[in-house]
Structure formats: C-alpha cells, structure tokens
Amino acid sequence: MDAALGAPAKMAEREEDLTPMMAQYFELCREYDDSLVLFQVGDFYEAFCEAAERVARICEITLTKREDSTGEYAMAGIPIDNAESYIERLLEAGYRVAVADQVEDPDEVSGVVDRAVTRVVTPGTLTEDELLRSADNNFVACLTADGPGGDATTRDTKRAGGGAGAGGDENGPYGLALLDVSTGDCYATGADRLDSVADELGRFAPAEAIVGPDAPTDVFDGDCMVSPYERTAFDAERARERVEAYFGDLGLADEAEVRAIGALLSYAEYTRGGNPDAGDIGDDATAEVARPGATAEGDAGGDDTGEAHTTGDPTDAATTLDYINTLTRYDPREYMLLDRVALESLELFDRRAVHGDRALTLVDALDETACALGRRKLDDWLRRPLLDEDRIAARHDAVAELTGDVGLREDLHELLDDVYDIERLISRVARGRATARDLRSLHDTLAVVPDVRAALDDAESATLVELREQLDPLADVRELIDEAIQEDPDADLTEGGIVKPEFDDELADLRSTEREGKAWIDDLEAGERERTGIDSLKVGHTSVHGYYIEVTDPNLDRVPDDYQRRQTLKNSERFVTPELREREDEIIRAEDRADDLEYELFCEVRRDVADESERVQALADRLARLDVFVSFASVAAKFDYTRPCVGAKEFAVEAGRHPVVERAEERFVPNDAHFDDEHFFAVITGPNMSGKSTYMRQVALTSVLAQAGSFVPAAEARLPVVDRVFTRVGASDDIAGGRSTFMVEMTELADILNNATDESLVLLDEVGRGTSTADGLAIARAVTEHIHDEIGATTLFATHHHELTAIADELSGVFNLHFETEHADGEVAFEHEVAPGAAAASYGIEVAKLAGVPGEVVDRSRELLDESDPGSDGPGAVESNGHDLEENVRVSSTADESGSGGGDDSGPPSDLERELADLDVATMTPLEAMNALAELKESLDE
C-alpha cells in the first residue's frame, strides 16, 4: 500500500484529538483511500503528511508544515487557480486525485467550513479541457467475466468473438463497456473469448480500466491504469437497475455486459463526487437510481448504423450524469475487425503508432474536419469500418455528392468551422460546470444549424437529404439562451454580467435601481460644487470606504453642515452625506441581490438546457457525420481519390497508392492489386526497400478506407467486404517495438490461423524471420499451405525466403509478385513497381552492388550463388524455379550448416530427409512444426 494514500498514520494515532478541520481531512482520506486527497483551505488545495511529501516532490512545490495543538504535520499546497496543471502531474505519476472543495461559504458559517469531494480525477474520466489534450475521445473501460471463475450464475449466452472452431474460453463470456465521460459516449459489447476483448480494447485504447471480480487484468495495454472496483457495483441486480435508470430497458443484453455497464456508470458517478461506496448502494439502492426508466428504442443517434442505441429518460436532476443517455451496444461482428497489432502496423491512429511521432498517421492524412465533433467521428469510423454493403454505399453516396460540388463542400466546411465541441459542452452543462460563455457558445452553434440546413437544400443523395431533415436547430433552446444570457458574458458566474436584465422583472428592477443610484452619484459632483462653491470638490469611490466627497484642506471652511467626516488624508478630507450613504446602501443592496439573482437564473437556464441534452447530442452526432462526409470529400478531391465499389467478388485495384506514404514521397509509384477466388495468395519477393511493406499496407488501407465510407487513393477499385484485417510483421522488422521475440510472432500467427476466414485480408510481412532459415522457411511454407487449403483468406506474404516462391507451382491459389531494381544508365535504382513473378534470388547481390561493394566481390558472390542454387541465374523475374520443399530445405541447410547431414542430389535419401518428407506440414500447428523441427535438429546432432 502506498503510504501517500489513505488515512495518514500520524493522524490515526491521535484521531480523537484532531482539530475539526484535520478530522475532516482524515475522514476524507479514509473514504477515498485509492486517491490523493486535495483539501481546499482558502485559495489552496492542501495535502498533509506522506501525501504532502509526495505531492511536493511530484509537483515540485515547497513542503511546509502545519502546527496545531495536536502536533506538527507536513503540508504542501497547490494554488487553486492553477490546480489543473498540478493535477495533471499527479495523474502522470499514476495517481487518482480526489478534490475536496469547501462546500459552504466561509462567510456564512461559524466554525469549520464543510468540505466534500466534488470530483475524483482519474486518467480515464477526465472532463476538464485543460487535462484533455486533444479533441480525441478519452475512454475508461470496464471488464467483467461471467465464467465459472466470475460472479454470475448464468452463462447461457453466446456472443461474438468465437473464431473458427474456437468456443468460449474458461472465464467467458466477458462483458466490456467503454465510456467517455467528457462527451457521454458509451459503448458496450460482449465476447466469449479474451482475444476478442483484447481486439476491442485495441480499437478504443482506453486510458483507464476497472475490472470486476475475477476478470483478467493482463489484457490491457501497459499504459492503461487498471484497478479492481467495488465488488458490489458488479452485482447483477444492482447493475441492471442502474443501467435501466440511465438507458431504459436493454432487452436481451448479456448479463456480463449489463454488469460491465452498470459498474462503469457507478464508477463514473463516483468520480463525480458521488457516494464513494457507489457500488455498495445497499438498501437505498432503489432510492439512488430511481429515475423514470422510460424505454425508448431506436435511433437517438439517427445515423446509418444499425446499432441498438438505447435511450432513457433522464429527468431526475439529482444525479449529475444526465448527459449519459445514449448507449451504443454493438456486436464486434458488425464491423471490420482491426486488432491491436493491425492498428499498430497500419498506423491508423497517433497514439498507437509504433514509431511515436515520426509519421503521419492515417487519421491525420484523412483529417480535413472542421470541428472537434467531426474529428472524433472520423476516429470512430476508422476504428470501426462497416461490413454492411448498403450502409457503406450510403456513406459513399454522400461523399460522392460533396466531392462533385466544390461550392457546397466549402460552404459546409466554413459553417462547420463555427461549430463548438457541443458534445463536451453539453456534458459540462449537465454536470453543472458550464459557464455562461459555454451557453453562449452553444447558442452560436445552434445559430449555424439553419444555415447548414439551407446549404443542404439542393442536396440529392438520400444520405444528405436525410441528414438535413434530421438537423434539429433546437430553436427553443437557442431562444432561451438568447433571451437569458448576455452576449459577451463574464467568465465568473457570481459577479453579475451574465444574465440580461430584461429576462426577469425583478432583475430588471434591481438593475434599474442600481443604475439610477449610480446616475444620481454621477450628478452629485456637479451639484455639490454648485451648492458649496468649491470648484475642486470631487466625488470618488474606494472599495474599502465606498463613496466619498473629497474636499482639499484650504476649502474645508466652506463644507456644509450635513457633511460627515469619513477619512482624513494628507491634504484633504473625505466626507459623506446621509443621502449619499443611503443611495450607496441602495446600490449595494440592489447589486448584491441582482448578482445572486443572476446566478440563480443562470442555473435555472442551465438546468433547462441540460434537460435537452439528448437533443443536443443527437444534433452533435449529425453535425459530426456531416463534417466527416465533407472531410472525406475534400481529401478525395484534393488527392484524387476514387469511389470504390464495395461488395465485389474480387479485389481489383488499378493504380492504387498508399494514402500516407504518397504524401511524403515526391514521386509515388501506383500499383495494381488483383485477387480473386482463383488467385488469392500472393508471395511477394524483392530487395529491401523496394516497396513490399508499403504495397501490402496500401492494399489493407484501401479496404479500411472504403469500408469506413471514404473514397480510396486509386484510379479504380472494386473490393470485397473484408471482415478482418490481420497484419503480422516479422520479429526482426519490429525490434523498435521491443517485442522481437519469436514467441510473440508465433502467437500472433496462431491467432490468424485460428480466426481468419475466407473474407479476411491477411498481411504477412517477413514472418518467420526470428528463427533459423530452415525452420523459418518450414513454418512459412506450412502457414501458406494452411491458409491456402483451409482458410482461403486473401493473403499477401512478403518474404525473404526466396524458396517460398516455388509454392506457386503447387498450390493453385498462390501466385508470385515481385519488386525489382531498375538499371537505368547503368545505375541501380528502386522502381517501387510490382510485377508478376518471383524476384531473382540474387537480389541481395544486386543490393551489395548498389551499396558500392567492390566488383570482384560481387562477381565472386554470383559464382558462389550459382554453385549453391542452380535455379537462380542472375537478375530478372523467375516465373518458377521448380524446386519443391524438401529440396529447398536441403539447399538451405547445406548452405547454413556446411554439409552436416545434407546429401547431394544423386545419393539415396538420408533418414533426416525421409523424416522430413513424412511430415504433414499442412495439418500441423505452428507449435507442432516447431517441435518437429526441434526433434529433427536433435536427430541431426546425434
């Protein structure tokens, strides 16, 4: 246990004697024992004892001490004005932070001010703009396991995730829920297998996770903060009640899923300063979650997705999470699956890119969105590309229309530029943290909506027409804000200057009293000068003494009787009159009352707006989708993308490009890609740096983009619907990722072999590199046969095992592609052009030549190569070299192990060769293949 957390030992020793304030601190530390407690004392948040030492070190602030009748305590204080930047440091150091604010006005209580935790700041539940670095979603996840090890009693449910032949694993079914507290986006899904859970986590990359009893914690990324949460929050009955209070009846949702959502909501409430034992709601559970659980099925999202959005009716203002009212439950099988490895190697998103900030990512290359709403939607669409042809085509329709209409596209972009992040804004409204400026920003965004609708007046595609019809300008909300809130309101909420006086009769009266009083005072100077004849008489105001009439010493004899002395200065005296005093009191009373009233009225308006949060969220969703359509269209127009036809039988891309690499290359060479039922497995060879990896990724990205709804970088593209993209990069290619073990490579490979279908796209980049040539090749060969014979997935296999090219002669679906170097003017240069057939086996020597290795050495290398491999005869494509596996393996092992056990072509087969020939590689698992190889090697050593 971290000594900085929980109740400080030093205080525990003298618990009975603590001063009232320290007793409060002590109590809060005990309640929030998984967080650093920051305790408001005036303008500072203080921490004491061990926590103080920790905070001082992490935040680099001075450690002081506090002394009272009970002793001396280490103390560290961070200024409230600048608290967020310190809190950020504490989060980075791996802490949760419980913020305990004064919840009473110190002026109005005698004795110690009451404090309460108003929020618990955790990495996954951030809502403050200062802490949320970007517009991207920030998710907290919750995982439950309902297996025998889990808590639940029922496990009669079957959900997605089971691949070919693989049933649920022993702890499944699993429930997974994800929530972005800053926007209210909530997702939930179920899975039978932990693999599938890992895949979904890869999509969402949560910053934090809570787990139920017996749920595994090792599926999460290293940089995700994982902790168990209050066991009772996972109780099936309580979770269901809570879920229904937010979203209404979920119908036939899996128990594991419901428990995950329920516990996650409980955690979200907890971080908003809810009952720290939120899970442990006990007897008053019903009281706490008793919100009218009206059922509303259907399209709160109103989008083209076929998901079940369930919405509840959050009318009870008692909870502060009203804005979480739309749950997107999805089945992973409805989306193209991009697991973590694929997301990384395809470099879709920043935060997952293997090479950090080096490269532009796909989402960056595609991001021409105008507003934060669009940016997040773009992320979501790329994270979850569609599988349904009609839905994909509907998106393409919208993009097509916008691509063809520059004027419309630019108009919309300009309008959307004025759209605020109303999703985060409405969540602040609902949590009672929005300012008057926020409301005004909401107003300004709503004001844009009629223009957006007008811009879409002539739209023709069904998608855009429907979108236009669904754009609700929320005229009532806009009018309310406009009537109530000043145009350029104060940032502060308690000093007036936020509500228009006309909005409320009493407020108008108060403000006019104030105005009249001030006008009277403005006239006072002239009037008094006339009355007294003192030309230098001045009327002024100080914050301490209020209004005064100032007369310089030489004129004091002319001061009238009703002047009362208030203050003596060096060369003058200040006076008041009874009337001035009365006026002043009147002004102050009116002003104070008006400021208070403004705050009350503002809160009322804010609550009224919060009641409409669901409509605001629906609007946000539509504006976001429109923004993505416009963004897709801008990219398509700017970079010459084409509309793909998705749902074809074959994969036919003419002149395709890599959407990201082409931006960095001065001259990008387009390449075709053709795959169909007859030829679906390409073995790709060629020298290093010739373009193999780029080509494979561009094929995959074409599918991702097309299914996300975007156009694609190609002259023409007909594509099948791809259900999953698998990418595996050979160990030696991934050293930067620090995971370069052969075991990892094989585990990932096993995942492909177990889960790929004939609708999957598989990229194998130099797989089998992490081991010796012979077994690497054997594995490569076995994998090829298995995918070819059993799975039928569209596969691109880039390999340095030149021997693998021979397999094209044996397996009908396999064909060779190669990249070669061009000899122009005697120079060797990379052409980056893919061509049919296998590369020459001697390309290594070509590269040696390219690198400037002396001519004699290059020539001698050729000689040696010709001796060892008669099938390769210099540069150029080799359609087929006629070797079968046994021969190839023998050749390699001869070369590698200088004759220890290999024979030559003429002799009878050795034992080893016979054993090898007997292996049925096609039916072996990778692990069996490894074991067989180990045995073979052993027999060789004997």
Residue partners of 84: CB distance under 8 A and separation at least 6: 128, 130, 131
Tell me the C-alpha distance between 90 and 58, whole Å: 7
- Cβ-proximal residue to Mg ion, closest one: 693
| Chosen from Mg ion, ligand ADP, none, partner binding at 645 (C-beta under 5 to 8 Å by type) | none
CB of 717 to ligand ADP, least distance (A): 16
CB of 218 to Mg ion, least distance (A): 30
Residue partners of 166: CB distance under 8 A and separation at least 6: 193, 754, 755
Residue partners of 818: CB distance under 8 A and separation at least 6: 684, 685, 686, 834, 835, 836, 837, 838, 839, 877
Restricted to residues 408-437, the positions that interact with ligand ADP (CB under 6 A) are none
Among 542, 688, 868, 923, which residue interacts with ligand ADP (rule: CB under 6 A)?
Answer: 688
- Cβ-contact 430, 320 below 8 angstroms: yes
Among 182, 690, 760, 821, which residue interacts with ligand ADP (rule: CB under 6 A)?
Answer: 690
Restricted to residues 310-369, the positions that interact with Mg ion (CB under 5 A) are none
Among 728, 832, 849, 890, which residue interacts with ligand ADP (rule: CB under 6 A)?
Answer: 832
- Cβ-contact 399, 709 below 8 angstroms: yes
Complex with ligand ADP: residue 520 or 830, whichever CB lies closer:
830
Among 23, 166, 559, 689, which residue interacts with ligand ADP (rule: CB under 6 A)?
Answer: 689
Count of residues near Mg ion by CB under 5 A? 1
Which element (helix H / strand E) includes 148?
none
What is the Rg, in whole angstroms, of the alpha carbon atoms belonging to the chain?
36
CB of 815 to ligand ADP, least distance (A): 18
DSSP string across 288-312? HH------EES-SS-SS---EEEE-
Complex with ligand ADP: residue 478 or 832, whichever CB lies closer:
832
Q: Is 801 in the site for ligand ADP (CB under 6 A)?
A: no
Q: For residue 793, which of 704, 680, 682 has the smallest C-alpha distance?
A: 680
| Chosen from ligand ADP, Mg ion, none, partner binding at 879 (C-beta under 5 to 8 Å by type) | none
| Chosen from Mg ion, ligand ADP, none, partner binding at 691 (C-beta under 5 to 8 Å by type) | ligand ADP
Q: Is 668 in the site for ligand ADP (CB under 6 A)?
A: yes
Tell me the C-alpha distance between 324 and 799, whole Å: 49
CB of 662 to ligand ADP, least distance (A): 7
Tell me the C-alpha distance between 708 and 710, whole Å: 6
Q: Is 693 in the site for ligand ADP (CB under 6 A)?
A: yes
Retrieve residue 505's tokens: 């009769």
Complex with ligand ADP: residue 783 or 839, whichever CB lies closer:
839
Contacting range for ligand ADP; rule: CB under 6 A; set: 189-197, 393-401, 419-427, 684-692? 684-692
Tell me the C-alpha distance between 162 and 754, whole Å: 10
User: Could you write out the three-class secondary structure of 87-146?
Assistant: HHHHHHCCCCEEEEEECCCHHHCCCCCCEEEEEEECCCCCCCCCCCCCCCCCCEEEEEEC
| Chosen from ligand ADP, Mg ion, none, partner binding at 193 (C-beta under 5 to 8 Å by type) | none
- Is 396 strand, coil or helix? helix
| Chosen from Mg ion, ligand ADP, none, partner binding at 727 (C-beta under 5 to 8 Å by type) | none
Q: For residue 140, which of 175, 99, 174, 181 has the smallest C-alpha distance?
A: 181
Place of tokens 């599918």: 703
- Cβ-contact 234, 151 below 8 angstroms: yes
CB of 843 to ligand ADP, least distance (A): 10
Q: For residue 88, which of 132, 44, 134 has the smallest C-alpha distance?
A: 132
Among 691, 768, 813, 875, which residue interacts with ligand ADP (rule: CB under 6 A)?
Answer: 691
Among 93, 669, 811, 895, which residue interacts with ligand ADP (rule: CB under 6 A)?
Answer: 669
Among 391, 692, 800, 802, which residue interacts with ligand ADP (rule: CB under 6 A)?
Answer: 692
| Chosen from ligand ADP, Mg ion, none, partner binding at 511 (C-beta under 5 to 8 Å by type) | none
* Cis preceding linkage at 173, omega within 30: yes
Among 5, 243, 507, 661, which residue interacts with ligand ADP (rule: CB under 6 A)?
Answer: 661
Restricted to residues 692-711, the positions that interact with Mg ion (CB under 5 A) are 693
Complex with Mg ion: residue 241 or 662, whichever CB lies closer:
662
Contacting range for Mg ion; rule: CB under 5 A; set: 154-162, 379-387, 493-501, 691-699? 691-699
Complex with Mg ion: residue 685 or 693, whichever CB lies closer:
693
Complex with ligand ADP: residue 44 or 830, whichever CB lies closer:
830
Q: For residue 713, which of 729, 698, 692, 691 has the smallest C-alpha distance?
A: 698
Length of the chain: 942
Contacting range for Mg ion; rule: CB under 5 A; set: 457-465, 688-696, 697-705, 750-758? 688-696
3-state helix, strand, coil in the chain (%, to 5): 45, 20, 35
CB of 698 to Mg ion, least distance (A): 13
CB of 885 to Mg ion, least distance (A): 24
DSSP letter, residue 720: P
Q: Is 840 in the site for ligand ADP (CB under 6 A)?
A: no
Q: Is 665 in the site for ligand ADP (CB under 6 A)?
A: yes
Which element (helix H / strand E) includes 398?
helix 389-403
Complex with ligand ADP: residue 272 or 692, whichever CB lies closer:
692
Contacting range for ligand ADP; rule: CB under 6 A; set: 56-64, 497-505, 666-674, 752-760? 666-674
Helices first, then strands: H and E counts in the chain: 29, 29
Q: Is 829 in the site for ligand ADP (CB under 6 A)?
A: no
Tell me the per-residue interface mask from 416 to 455 with Mg ion, x by CB under 5 A, - otherwise: ----------------------------------------
Could you list the residues that contact ligand ADP (CB under 6 A)?
661, 665, 668-669, 671, 686, 688-694, 832
Could you list the residues that contact Mg ion (CB under 5 A)?
693
